[in-house]
Structure 1
Amino acid sequence: MTTIANRIADNLARVRARISQACQRAGRDSDDVTLVCVTKYAQPEWIDGLLECGELVLGENRPQQLEQRASRFSDRIQWHLIGQLQRNKVRRTLAVASMIHSVDSMKLLERIDAIANDDGHHPAVLLQVNIAGEDSKGGFTSEMLHDAWSRIHSLESVNVRGLMTMAPLSDDPRTSRDIFDRLHQLARKLRTDRVGQGGERLTELSMGMSNDFEVAVEAGATMIRLGRSLFEGLDA
């Protein structure tokens, strides 16, 4: 392993241990939690280090950077878009993204479905929910999801796999717990109320970042999005 890969391996070991401990506290299996390695600020050699460590699920915030990196690195990588997606960038994103975490409106979801139908794709997406009701963030409200579910279920090509949220920034990860608990409850209610209408397919919960991923895991996250924790000790 390179020096960079060794540093990343050490960081990954610490992160995996914390995930395991959080799962034990919640009575969960750590294999049920997918680590999405966020490479937004990563140097190319850091990404090489992740690959040396066997990490193949990588997340990018910007569609353009995702496209560039998908063309540069191994085609074994599952690229996830975790940042905002504009409707005029949907087609190019669908060509390279394994999953889109940030579908924040019905208009965007319908655009993705229309292009996917034209191009023969069946993209996996998560619906972004603004649980905290922050004006600075987009996303569905709980009420919007319930009201729009018939339209969501009628879409032909898109594969809605679950929900995503971001907790307000805080130095105390415990402040995120209520947000994560509420997303978990919303997903559970949709699975119950919309059985036979696609609700049962909402198996993924993307929530938790470097500052609060342990409470997210305790609240039921199946995907956590980490960047800073993986690259500690590396110079930008």
Structure 2
Amino acid sequence: MTTRNAIDLQERPARPAQCLKRVPILDAAADVFCREGFSGASIDEIAARACVSRQTIYNHYREKETLFIAVVADVTARANTAVFAALAAFPDRPEKLREDLIAFAVDLNRNCLYNQDGKFLRKLVQSEGPRYPHLFEAWREHGPCKIGTALGAILARLHHQGLLQIPDCDVAARQFTALINADLQMPTLFGETPTEADIETAAQQGVDMFLRGYGVPAKTAA
């Protein structure tokens, strides 16, 4: 081996043995942050998972905090895509309000709140939110706040159509989400995944309670 080749080999960063294929940095970071939390995660581990050098990560994100915020923003954007697809599918003029609300609640829980992205965000918020609230500012603004506003607009439309009686649609939107999740939160807190039957039952019970509070009495319905 020539001296030049020996120098080249010394200068090349060693690739980890488990580095079989390159993984996007944000996906690798999401995996590590989810397992280790913000304080426990290391840039070296993320770099090994992504099959890049630690300098590459610093070139893109400068520091671990910036990378964490980017991960949360990326997962929130994916989760929002599913949520807004469910919102867009809600009929403009529902003919069977209870059935349509139940179908919407099932879709929201199954494909949005309890899918992989939803579970990831919930775990991070629960574990890291109390210690690092500033890292979730963008999530609050573009996640729950944005979704709550969109759901409130749907409820306002139903109110103006005479199908519901809602004095404050923003409050009602938060209550709707809380009601359809009431029976699912405890199991998921301990890592369980709701079954289809669990999601269906939670949706029915939540919607029925919501309609008891905001439904229009049959004799005055439009």
Structure 1 length as normaliser, TM-score? 0.25
Larger Rg computed on CA atoms: 2
Task: Give the helix-richer structure, 1 or 2.
Answer: 2
Structure 2 length as normaliser, TM-score? 0.27
Task: Give the strand-richer structure, 1 or 2.
Answer: 1
